[in-house]
């Protein structure tokens, strides 16, 4: 904006304030600055595993994988077989709060059904 245009705008603004209690000084310019973070730290992620035991049924493990971890039937069976054969299987990778909630849910459901099924958590 040119100086002439700014002067006209300032004059019009001052005229619009006639009769109000607002004090204006045309010589004072305010500069608004804002600072934004260019980089946002992503939350740490955690792996949740189910651990094999000799008592929890394969069907119950599949139910847990579907209902708690949102796995498809096919994926749930694949993970369940991995747990059965290798002793541990990855259920998902989540933020800490989500991972802890899922682990608590698994432990509660297993206890309600009389199974000793356990989960583990590790930083991804």
Q: Delimit the domains of the chain by residue range.
A: 45-123
Is the model's pLDDT at 72 over the cut of 70? yes
- Residue 43 DSSP code: P
- Return the CATH fold of 45-123: Ribosomal Protein L30; Chain: A, (3.30.1390)
Given pLDDT bands bounded at 50, 70 and 90, which one contains residue 90? very high
Q: For residue 66, how many other CB atoms are within 10 A of its CB? A: 15
Radius of gyration of the chain (CA): 31
Query: Nearest to residue 45, comparing CAs of 91, 88, 99?
Result: 99
Any idea which of 37-41, 78-82, 93-97 has the lowest mean pLDDT? 37-41
Is the model's pLDDT at 114 over the cut of 70? yes
Between 39 and 92, name the one with better pLDDT.
92
């Amino acid at each position: 904006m040119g100086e002439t245009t700014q002067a006209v705008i300032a004059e019009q603004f001052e005229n619009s304030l006639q009769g109000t209690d607002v004090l204006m000084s045309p010589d004072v310019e305010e500069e608004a600055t804002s600072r934004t973070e260019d980089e946002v730290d992503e939350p740490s992620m955690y792996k949740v595993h189910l651990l094999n035991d000799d008592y929890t049924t394969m069907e119950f493990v599949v139910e847990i994988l579907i209902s708690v971890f949102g796995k498809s039937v096919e994926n749930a069976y694949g993970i369940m077989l991995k747990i059965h054969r290798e002793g541990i299987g990855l259920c998902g990778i989540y933020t800490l709060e989500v991972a802890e909630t899922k682990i608590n849910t698994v432990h509660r459901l297993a206890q309600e059904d009389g199974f000793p099924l356990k989960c583990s958590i590790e930083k991804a």
